[in-house]
Structure 1
Amino acid sequence: MPYADVVIVGAGAAGLSLAYRLCAPGAEVELSVLLVDAPPGPLRPPPRTWCFWEPPGGEFDAAVSASWRRLRVRAADGSATVAVASPLRYKMLRSDAFTGLVDRRLDSAGGFGRVELTVRAVRDAVGGGGEVVGEDARGRRTVVTGRYVFDSRPPGRLPAARTTLLQHFTGWFVHTRRPVFEPDTADLMDFRTPQPRHGLSFAYVLPLDARSALVEYTEFSRTPLEPAAYTEALEHHLREVLGASPYRVSATEHGVIPMTDGRFRPRAGRSVFRVGTAGGATRPSTGYTFSAVQRQTRSLAAALRAGEPPRTPSPYRARSLAMDAVMLRALDTGRVDGAAFFTGLFRSVPPARLLRFLDGSAPLREELLVGLRTPVAPMLRTVAELPFRARRFYPAQPAPASSLPHLPDEE
């Protein structure tokens, strides 16, 4: 029966980030770490992209595909708001490059191991610690045990909530015959898209150079679309809005990220913990996950490497989650126009302050200043209503996120 001090289930952003930090040199307490990954097949997430902002010189910069200091939001009428994010940069990190960077550390770390299992259960063990029960490639039952187990898989069911929306998207990596894109400017939200009855939609364009970019169609709504609807929306935006035809699609991404005021519980037992989206790392109002995963895993690894029990605070402050709950409900009810709401924020709030707010790292004063830029009357009505709303389970199970944690993921 394989054993390690720390067992990590899942090799997505959260699982790899935790392993990366636990295996860094210089720990006060040396730990054995075992990473349990899904075998090749449908349970293993496909290549995906994560985006986040931070100053230049970050720990993953060697793997970053591109970055931008100019960010743009376009209103439905095409008018543009351009912000310079200095001293921050918006960074794109592809999962294959991130995995390669992490693997270089893990491969040279003493006490690190891997095993491939189809996981059936993660739970506390009878005699103490935690255990992972699954089957190997031959279908044989295998049990892995550890002092602590961290489960980074996407949640199987969303928690009961007053409001649940889904951020669902399809993205294409496109190459055009002529220069179309502005390499120094990322389009975070382009609202020149048909708006759904509930929520909002926008296009998202991250240029790699003048002739290639990641172009996405994204919606915040109650249910995902049929595949053909994403294709139609992307083709329309590329051809009619951007004038990018002819173009070639070299890769695609699809994901569904929960946006909910349900309470994700980081602790799943005496010795079992959740990290990533299932541990509350996805920001309810934006879908951003990657930066919170880094905060979460940094805290956990620091405690374990010092010989202390894992710390399990939420990656977000309670007041940030309360503000998110209000925004989600106001958006779902139609009390605020989503396109006008986000366009107004980018027009009226200094860029660095707004980015810290969206990332969940803004201090109280900045959160209050951003809050004053929102539509006050519908927000106050929603604040008064929320305490009387019952929490209900989402009626359908969303697909696992191939998580592009972008603006309104991870695993």
Structure 2
Amino acid sequence: MSEPVDVDLALIGGGGAASLVLAALGRRGPGARVAIVDPVHKRGQDRTWAFWGTPGTFLDPLLSASWDEADVVTPTGRRALPLRPLRYAMLRSAPLYDLAAQAEKELSAVRITERAEQVADDGERVLISAPDGTPLVRAAWALDSRPRPPRRPGRTNWLQHFRGWWLEADEPVFDPGRAVLMDFRTPQPARGVSFGYVLPVSDRFALVEYTEFSPAVLSGDEYDAALRGYAALLGLDLAALRVREVEDGVIPMTDGPFDPHPSPRVVRLGTAGGATRPSTGFTFSAMARQADDIARALAAGRPPLPAPPYPARHLWMDAVQLRALDRGLVDGVAFFDRLFARNPAERVLRFLDGTTTPAEDLKLMASTPLLPMTRAAFGDALARIRP
């Protein structure tokens, strides 16, 4: 039996979370011995992340587009949201994977194109083995970003699920200066919330997407029909446009707890580590924070344990919101419209990013429909104390 590779840090999985860790380690220069264990070496374009944050980070040269304004649209009108000092940004996967590959080279990292089956943590080292039992890596710490369910099922379990078309035109069609963050003019599901959005890279190229927050996914034909309907709402002539790429995704929206530190020397990242915001499905900003925390800790000689992705009070607020939507206590479109109408856009976006203060959270809660949200909070409290 071959001897495993000995390293300080093993990354199990090589997607967005691992790529951000590699990029963060690369910015600090060679130090820890690193191995990546993944049967697939991620390259090229396989996903798009949209997120908000402040300009001036290492991600700026990688962005496909960014916007200082975004629109929220309902059947009753359009609200233009000034986002400064934040901005809404789009990052496609290819440049991030390229940056991670460059960091991997600079760090002299070892890449093992095998599937990790067993991750055995004895409290001193972590042994990662292949499906046939072959030992692959022995590491001081393992960062595992493979998808996993919550530690226990949530009281509310929804999904953010979507399909997007990258549309290309021969003539100017899109406004590259502004994004559509949420367009609620789409037909609403019987149980859930739907919306479209538009992220223009140029006046001739944009991502047009249909998204639902609801308990179950749709069929491919249903997503396509929804996208055709949304394109018609936008006044787009699909006969004059080309669908260059299609993106699909399913992201958990649940108040079930994820276990970010399942054993002494194994740390979970990404959705498996709780980086997905239960109320929206957004993940990227929290993954980036996790990566920076890990790189700083290693550089300081500390264990690579990132801070919790979101404050506990925010997870409680998300649980109450999900319950209110799931039980039909609030209308989803009206809820989000009211949230943006009664708060500065920056406050709402920072809350969804997990960075608002307790005082700001109280203002946000006061701007929601108080009676139904109080009922949802009371129901959530009862559900928590039941065996």
Task: Identify the TM-score tier after normalising by the shorter chain.
Answer: over 0.9
Question: Are the equivalent residues in 2 in contact too, given 1:206–1:213 (CA < 8 A)?
Answer: yes
Determine which of 126, 130, 133 is the counterpart of 1:130: 126
In structure 1, distance between residues paired with 2:377 and 2:28: 48
Q: Name the CA shift for 1:211/1:158 in 2 (closer, same or farther; >3 Å).
A: farther
Question: Are the equivalent residues in 1 in contact too, given 2:191–2:326 (CA < 8 A)?
Answer: yes
Amino acid at match of 2:173: V
In structure 2, distance between residues paired with 1:64 and 1:305: 27
1:307-347 residue CA offsets vs partner (Å, 9 max, x unmatched): 12233542100111111110000011111111111112222
1:232-262 residue CA offsets vs partner (Å, 9 max, x unmatched): 1001111344333321100111111101111
Amino acid at match of 1:115: I
Structure 2, unpaired ranges of 5+: none
CA deviation after TM superposition for structure 1 residue 26, in Å: 5.6
**1:248-327 correspondence to structure 2 within 5 Å:** 248-327=242-321
More relative contact order in 1 or in 2 (CA 8 Å, sep 6+)? 1
Number of residue-to-residue matches in the alignment: 382
Question: Are the equivalent residues in 2 in contact too, given 1:276–1:282 (CA < 8 A)?
Answer: yes
**1:137-286 correspondence to structure 2 within 5 Å:** 141-156=134-149, 159-245=152-238, 246-286=240-280
Question: Are the equivalent residues in 2 in contact too, given 1:192–1:241 (CA < 8 A)?
Answer: no
1:117 aligns with 2:114: yes
The CA RMSD over aligned residues, in Å, is: 2.2
Q: Secondary structure at the match of 2:362?
A: helix
Match of 1:338 in 2: 332
CA deviation after TM superposition for structure 1 residue 46, in Å: 6.6
**1:51-70 correspondence to structure 2 within 5 Å:** 51-70=50-69
In structure 1, distance between residues paired with 2:237 and 2:56: 33
Q: Secondary structure at the match of 1:256?
A: strand
Q: Name the CA shift for 1:45/1:289 in 2 (closer, same or farther; >3 Å).
A: farther
TM-score by length of 1: 0.88
Q: Secondary structure at the match of 2:304?
A: coil
Question: Are the equivalent residues in 1 in contact too, given 2:285–2:353 (CA < 8 A)?
Answer: yes
Structure 1, unpaired ranges of 5+: 393-411
TM-score by length of 2: 0.93
Amino acid at match of 1:216: E
1:6 aligns with 2:9: yes
1:71-117 residue CA offsets vs partner (Å, 9 max, x unmatched): 1010034x10001111111110001111112222221224x221111
Q: Name the CA shift for 1:340/1:162 in 2 (closer, same or farther; >3 Å).
A: same
Match of 1:24 in 2: 27
CA deviation after TM superposition for structure 1 residue 176, in Å: 2.7
1:105-160 residue CA offsets vs partner (Å, 9 max, x unmatched): 221224x22111122222314x831122225xxx7834311011110111156732
Amino acid at match of 1:130: V
